[in-house]
């Protein structure tokens, strides 16, 4: 499978179809590019699916950064490399598209948002998610719900850091 290397991460990429238009498909948090595989036959032209940093088959970020700015950079790197003019995203992927559009509103000709991330409201459950991250940290590597032995690790795994550690950062919304 193709891999796209940026200054910060190696991203796993899968391409289906051919011709124009080129659509980049961005998956949700803790998922992989395969999340949107069932939708690709419904999209015309070339479909480019990828795994965000520390998700699926992609590597962890050298910087250790996992915010919407970085996910948007992953999306833009893949979209630029494959000359995508359209974008489709679910949850985290939709949020990454929105983050990219905040700085480059004309980046894509068309967009589809499935189950978009709640970027318009403050995140009210940081403490709950932090407790979950702390609990996941106590699990042995390659173990945990839905991860059979031999699994590459949890989303958020990074070199030198414990597997599965995902820290809730500041709200992406001003005043949040």
Contact 74, 50 (CB under 8 A): yes
Of the pLDDT bands very low, low, confident and very high (cuts 50, 70, 90), residue 116 is confident
50 forms beta bridges with: 13, 26
Q: Which domains does the chain have, with CATH numbers?
A: 3-116 (3.40.50.1820), 123-170 (no CATH)
pLDDT of residue 142: 56
The DSSP secondary-structure symbol of 168 reads -
pLDDT of residue 161: 41
Taking only the tens place, the pLDDT of each residue in 15-62 is 999 999 999 999 999 999 999 998 899 999 999 999 999 999 999 999
pTM over 0.95: no
Contact 40, 47 (CB under 8 A): yes
**Region label for 91, one of left (φ > 0), alpha (ψ between -120 and 50) or beta (otherwise):** left
Taking only the tens place, the pLDDT of each residue in 141-167 is 655 455 445 544 444 443 444 444 343
For the chain, the residue count is: 176
Average pLDDT, the chain: 81
Of the pLDDT bands very low, low, confident and very high (cuts 50, 70, 90), residue 117 is low
């Amino acid at each position: 499978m193709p891999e796209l290397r940026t200054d910060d991460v190696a991203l796993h990429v899968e391409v289906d179809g051919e011709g124009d238009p080129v659509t980049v498909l961005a998956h949700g948090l803790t998922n992989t590019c395969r999340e949107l595989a069932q939708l690709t036959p419904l999209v015309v032209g070339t479909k480019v699916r990828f795994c965000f940093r520390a998700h699926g088959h992609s590597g962890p970020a050298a910087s250790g950064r996992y915010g919407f700015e970085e996910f948007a950079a992953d999306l833009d790197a893949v979209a630029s490399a494959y000359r995508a003019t359209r974008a489709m995203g679910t949850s985290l992927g939709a949020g990454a598209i929105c983050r990219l559009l905040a700085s480059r509103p004309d980046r894509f000709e068309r967009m589809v948002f499935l189950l978009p991330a709640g970027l318009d409201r403050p995140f009210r459950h940081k403490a709950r998610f932090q407790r979950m991250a702390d609990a996941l940290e106590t699990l042995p590597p390659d173990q945990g719900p839905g991860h059979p032995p031999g699994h590459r690790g949890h989303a958020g795994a990074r070199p030198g850091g414990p597997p599965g550690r995902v820290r809730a950062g500041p709200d992406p919304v001003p005043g949040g």
